Amino acid sequence: MFATRFLLAIPKELGKEDRILHVAWSFWLLLLAAMLWPLPVAVLTVFFTGICKEIWDKYYGSGFCFYDLTGNCIGMLLALLLGIY
């Protein structure tokens, strides 16, 4: 049930300004990281940076959000598809 509701809400949630920023930041961070490190290291670094940011938000910000992480993954996927390979 949770997974179905989560997946159905993704298009609406990704249209929010905060999610768009997550997509954009993850895109550019992965492109930059891939110039500095091997691709697997760059992907893991950007991915775990996003998780750390959400953990920070859980305790000091607006709360942990799986939609933010989804935006991060979409930004990284776009970087992989458009910029790296």
Secondary structure in 3-state letters for 31-84: HHHHHHCCHHHHHHHHHHHHHHHHHHHHHHCCCCCHHHHHHHHHHHHHHHHHHH
pLDDT of residue 84: 61
Chain mean pLDDT for the chain: 92
How many angstroms separate the CA atoms of 85 and 73, rounded?
17
> Is pTM beyond 0.85 here?
yes
* Residue percentage of the chain with pLDDT more than 90: 75
Q: How many domains does the chain have?
A: 1
Quick: pLDDT tens for 4-40. 888 888 888 878 899 999 999 999 999 999 999 999 9
User: Which residue segment(s) compose the domain that 75 sits in?
Assistant: 2-84
